[in-house]
Amino acid sequence: MRAIWTLLALLTGMSSLAAEPFAKMSVDAGKSIVPGQQIHLVVEVYAPGFFTSPPDFPLFNIAGALVTLPAERAQNTVETVDGAQYSGIARRYAVVPQQSGSFAIPPVHIPFAYSSDGTPTKAEVITAPASFTVEDAGGLMVFSARDLTLTQSFDHDPATLHAGDALVRTITVTAKETQSMLMPPVITGTATGLDQYNQPPTIADGIASGRGETASQRTETMSYIAPHSGQFTLPEIRYAWFDEAAGVSKEATLPATLIGVAPASAQAGIAPATSPNQAGSFEHRRQVALWIGVALAIAGACWWLRTVPTAAMHGLQRVKAHIRSSRWSRLRQVRHAILHKDLPSAYNALHQLAAFSGYQTLKGYVDSENPALAEPVQQLESIVFNQSEEPFDRRRVARLITRPRIANAAVAGTSILPELNPSATQRSPTLH
């Protein structure tokens, strides 16, 4: 009997010793994937016992696709394998393929620490290679999402304007299962007879959308000014997108909006009253005019003092909003990320700058806007995705980000000022 219990203890000990950490990767997507559609790679890390430090999920590179790690909470789980209990932690990577074809997912190295039977252990697991296929969409990359809504609002009623008034229009695109940097701009068209001024768009991710879900959002703001009275029409807006849930292309629309502009209101004046008996008296007319002027001055001062705080506050809010959404502010944020944050965050900031500038990819932004960034971006990708240990000059890249764009190098290299020390052939002849 004692031999049987000894054998069982040995078998149990061998099972405990055989328990090793492992990782799994799965592709979370529908039956078909098209270019521009966001899919998820679910990576799960399992360890016997419990984790003493969470897994360090790294960014990795997939050729022809954009890979990001959304700021979502990790999912904890427990699983029993061959009689041994494992603790698990899972994260979702967001992947957006930019072309059709087959995509290979490289193995991902994930370090962490765990404790089993009271023994702290450092470990690293490697996911098995995986792949997914993207269907041909006629050579086009579509904007794919779920539960997209398109809304608009005005700062006041468009039908109650007067000539010279300004109307502020805000259009908001909200969608799930996408990223704000991938949302295409809203094509508003132009309204004949109105002066239109567009502000830079603002984008945001991780917006609470109920039931524990989040959404991404793109907001565009524009102002219209009517120089004269009349009837004006803001054209209908159509926003094309691909519904992942239904598997079909759709259009979100905003109806045309009628704007009624009345003539500018005339300023009322105060006619001085004259007495028939003193109509010819110059002194009387002068006193009446003086008192009327004093009364108007007092009324104007009271009106001005009443509206100054509100107008100043609104003006300050408009200036702050303009600064936050300006290209200068965006460049300052990217420069701060490059100088002070970790390299994956700096790389993500460069992608957001490319999207803010209207480019689908970072490569397109670099080729068109700032070719000097090509080598630093390639070096940064090598460090982030291939774990290269080569040094990265943050200050140099920050200087390249803030360097003004020059449309024509030949013109930029020519100064309108005369040379400080002209050559002998350029000097004026000496008078004798």
CATH fold of 17-134: Immunoglobulin-like (2.60.40)
pLDDT of residue 269: 46
CATH fold of 146-262: Immunoglobulin-like (2.60.40)
pLDDT of residue 5: 40
- pTM value is 0.50
Q: What is the pLDDT along the chain (432 residues), one digit of tens a residue?
A: 444 444 444 444 444 455 889 999 999 887 778 888 888 899 999 999 889 999 999 999 998 888 988 888 889 999 888 888 899 999 999 998 888 889 999 999 999 999 878 888 999 999 998 999 988 766 666 788 889 999 999 998 988 889 988 999 999 999 988 888 888 899 988 888 899 999 999 999 888 887 778 889 999 999 999 888 899 999 999 999 888 878 788 999 999 999 989 998 765 445 445 455 544 566 778 888 889 999 999 988 888 887 767 767 777 777 777 776 677 887 888 888 888 888 888 888 888 888 888 888 888 888 888 898 888 888 888 888 777 777 888 888 888 886 545 433 333 344 445 555 655 444 444 434
pLDDT of residue 112: 95
What does the H/E/C string look like for the chain?
CHHHHHHHHHHHHHHHHHCCCEEEEEEECCCCCCCCCCEEEEEEEEEECEEEECCCCCCCCCCCEEEECCCCCCEEEEEEECCEEEEEEEEEEEEEECCCEEEEECCCEEEEEEEECCEEEEEEEECCCEEEEECCCCCCCCCEEEEEEEEEEECCCHHHEECCCEEEEEEEEEEECCCHHHCCCCCCCCCCCCEEEECCCEEEEEEECCCCCEEEEEEEEEEEECCCCEEEEECCEEEEEEECCCCEEEEEEECCEEEEEECCCCCCCCCCCCCHHHCCCHHHHHHHHHHHHHHHHHHHHHHHHHHHHHHHHHHHHHHHHHHHCCHHHHHHHHHHHHHHCCHHHHHHHHHHHHHHCCCCCHHHHHHHHCHHHHHHHHHHHHHHHHCCCCCCCHHHHHHHHHCCCCCCHHHHCCCCCCCCCCCHHHCCCCCC
* CATH 2.60.40 domain residues, the chain: 17-134, 146-262
pLDDT of residue 410: 37
User: Phi/psi zone of residue 208: left (φ > 0), alpha (ψ -120 to 50 degrees), beta?
Assistant: beta
